[in-house]
Amino acid sequence: MAKRVRTLKTNRADIRRLKTDEPPSNDNDLPERRLRSTNRWKECSKSIRRCNPLCADPLGHHAKDGRPVPSEEVHHIEPLAKRPDLAFDGSNLIALCRKCHEAVERHGMPKK
Ligand SMILES: [Zn+2]
Ligand SMILES: [Zn+2]
């Protein structure tokens, strides 16, 4: 009776495919996210939040709840991609809580 020998195949091509020299894709690396890692932005954002310790409540959610919410993040009213010159311009910045920031990032600032 012949013994059945199991051969272990190492697929070199597959291994090579895992170590690619290509840089990671930056497709979802938004300019605003890149800015947030800079020291200049950290200082700027800190001072905006110091002057505006509460969420600006652009959607009126907190007013409806009857309680203010501390600001956690700073948003660019004119998007950074469109107006990079206003990146650190106080008139283009607004202090928001995380929830409101997510909402305005997704739907834009409500029209006044
Ligand atoms: Zn934002
Ligand atoms: Zn808020």
pLDDT tens across 36-52, in order?
999 999 999 999 999 99
Q: Is residue 103 part of a domain?
A: yes
Hey, what are 96's tokens?
């928001």
- Tell me, yes or no, whether 97 lies in a domain: yes
The structural domain count of the chain equals 1
Query: 24: CA distance to ligand 1 center in Å?
Result: 24
Does a structural domain hold residue 40?
yes
Residue 30: pLDDT band with limits 50, 70, 90: confident
Residues with a beta carbon under 5 angstroms from ion ligand 2: 55, 69, 97, 100
Cα end-to-end span (Å), the chain: 87
Whole-model pTM: value is 0.71
Q: Domain limits at 51?
A: 35-107
User: What is the tens place of the pLDDT at every residue in 53-98?
Assistant: 999 999 999 999 999 999 999 999 999 989 999 999 999 999 999 9
Q: 15 in a domain, yes or no?
A: no
Return d(Cα 49, Cα 42) in angstroms, integer. Answer: 11
Ligand nearest to the CA of 52: 2
Considering the domain boundaries, does residue 71 fall inside one? Answer: yes
Q: Which ligand lies nearest the alpha carbon of 58?
A: 2
Whether residue 86 lies inside any domain: the answer is: yes
**CA distance to 5, 42, 53, 71, 112, per residue, from 47 (Å):** 71, 9, 10, 12, 26
